[in-house]
Amino acid sequence: MFDKVREIAESWIISENPSETQLKLAEERLKICKGCDKMVKGTLVEFKCSECGCPIHKKIFSPKFDACPLHKWLDVENTKLYTDTQKKSKSFL
């Protein structure tokens, strides 16, 4: 459970000040989400994933590999774009 809380916290933090590479990765993930039938209008957020319930505008910034519960982001994540977003050293989060 702590891993999921950590992933959510990191996604929200990254979304507030993403690096250029993190922003590009998020944009590529969003393109995939826009074509998915699980992306629905939410009540408190603009769009959410009906599969996992996450707000899309934060989920796309997840630092986790294969964070999409339907594994639709794998084509994007199996590129240099994803590996360039990963931290090279340990930090607080």
Domain boundaries, the chain: 18-80
Q: What are phi and psi of 39, to 5 degrees?
A: -85, 115
User: pLDDT digit string (tens) for 36-71?
Assistant: 999 998 776 689 999 998 899 999 999 999 999 999
User: pLDDT digit string (tens) for 9-34?
Assistant: 999 999 999 999 999 999 999 999 99
pTM assigned to the model: 0.84
pLDDT at 84: 79
pLDDT at 85: 80
